[in-house]
């Protein structure tokens, strides 16, 4: 739809504004028009009742599925509730959204929670945008791995989530390994002393200052590359991941602005992993 919309914009611009330059202006104008329509579009949700924004759908689905995963182990523990509250605080939700998140988490714990229906509505609501859907899966994986272990029932639900949202079994296993490595990279749960202090650079690049004992193996896993890959392959993969996790782009596609910090942190980890690999290889 976007392609044909931009093509039509180019054609109209070319015809009525004159020449290639007019076509380019028409294409640009159409791009921003489509973007605005997409951002303002509401989603008709049968589970969350009525029409809601794409960003509200993302936020509520996130907490409903978190509640479902927490319940999968048999009962919801205080740690699970604490984790959900921590995420609410981290996202700096206002009182209205905090109440919606709590309600969604509680509904997710119910025994008759329609996981497949909710996720299918979510996938359709996101316009099946793969980068936004992958980010959602990553958030759920991060939450499940927060305690340092993955219960078989949690893994089963995570796989169901990934499958419904369009990931293959290979993509699921690769992403799970990447998220687990990212957790270790961030918290330092591996052999050797690890320290990190990251900062937001003024030019919007994200970087970590870290000790020389950071796990290089985890850095490769975070990027989904191997030590034997050449510079071109690793650089291409790094750029693709940075593009997929660009906070502004994700927000424009439906990620709640409150989750921008989560996206920034992920971008920081990708940048840190790439920098470490380059340092170890002597690349500039």
What is the structure's pLDDT at 46?
84
Let me know: does 6 contact 31? Beta carbons within 8 Å: yes
Residue 165's Cβ-count burial label (10 Å; 0-12, 13-18, 19+) is buried
**Would you give the distance in Å from CA 153 to the centre of its chain?**
22
Q: Which helix (H) or strand (E) holds 239?
A: helix 231-244
Q: Tell me how many helices (H) and strands (E) the chain has.
A: 13, 4
CATH 1.10.287 occupies which residues in the chain? 196-281
What is the structure's pLDDT at 22?
63
Instruction: Count other Cβ atoms within 10 Å, centred on residue 60.
Output: 25
How much is the pTM?
0.70
What is the structure's pLDDT at 151?
86
Per-residue tens of pLDDT for the chain, all 284 residues: 445 455 555 556 555 566 665 666 656 666 555 455 445 556 778 888 778 888 888 899 999 999 999 998 888 888 888 888 888 887 888 898 899 999 999 999 999 999 999 999 999 888 778 888 988 999 899 888 887 788 889 999 999 999 999 999 999 998 999 888 888 776 653 333 223 333 333 344 444 444 444 478 888 988 999 989 999 999 999 999 998 888 787 777 777 777 777 888 888 889 988 998 998 888 87
* Assigned fold of 196-281: Helix Hairpins (1.10.287)
Task: Copy the structure tokens of residue 74.
Answer: 């048999």
From 62, 45, 43, select the one nearest 53 (Cα to Cα).
Answer: 43
């Amino acid at each position: 739809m976007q392609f044909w919309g931009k093509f039509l914009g180019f054609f109209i611009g070319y015809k009525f504004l004159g020449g290639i330059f007019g076509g380019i202006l028409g294409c640009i104008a159409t791009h921003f028009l489509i973007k605005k329509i997409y951002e303002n579009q509401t989603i008709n949700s049968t589970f969350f009742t009525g029409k809601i924004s794409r960003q509200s759908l993302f936020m509520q689905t996130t907490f409903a599925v978190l509640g479902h995963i927490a319940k999968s182990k048999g009962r919801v523990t205080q740690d699970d509730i604490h984790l959900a509250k921590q995420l609410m605080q981290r996202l700096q939700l206002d009182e209205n959204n905090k109440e919606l998140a709590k309600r969604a988490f509680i509904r997710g714990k119910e025994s008759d929670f329609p996981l497949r229906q909710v996720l299918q509505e979510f996938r359709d609501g996101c316009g099946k945008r793969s980068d936004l859907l992958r980010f959602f899966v990553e958030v759920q994986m991060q939450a499940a791995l927060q305690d340092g272990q993955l219960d078989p029932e949690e893994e089963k639900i995570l796989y169901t989530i990934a499958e419904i949202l369009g990931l293959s079994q290979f993509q699921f296993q690769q992403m799970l390994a990447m998220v687990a490595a990212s957790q270790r990279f961030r918290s330092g749960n591996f052999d050797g002393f690890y320290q990190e202090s990251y900062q937001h650079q003024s030019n919007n690049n994200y970087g970590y200052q870290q000790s020389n004992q950071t796990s290089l193996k985890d850095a490769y896993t975070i990027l989904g590359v191997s030590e034997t890959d050449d510079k071109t392959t690793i650089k291409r993969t790094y750029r693709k991941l940075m593009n997929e996790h660009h906070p502004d782009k994700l927000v424009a596609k439906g990620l709640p602005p409150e989750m921008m910090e989560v996206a920034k942190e992920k971008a920081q980890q990708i940048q840190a992993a790439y920098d470490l690999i380059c340092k170890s290889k002597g690349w500039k």
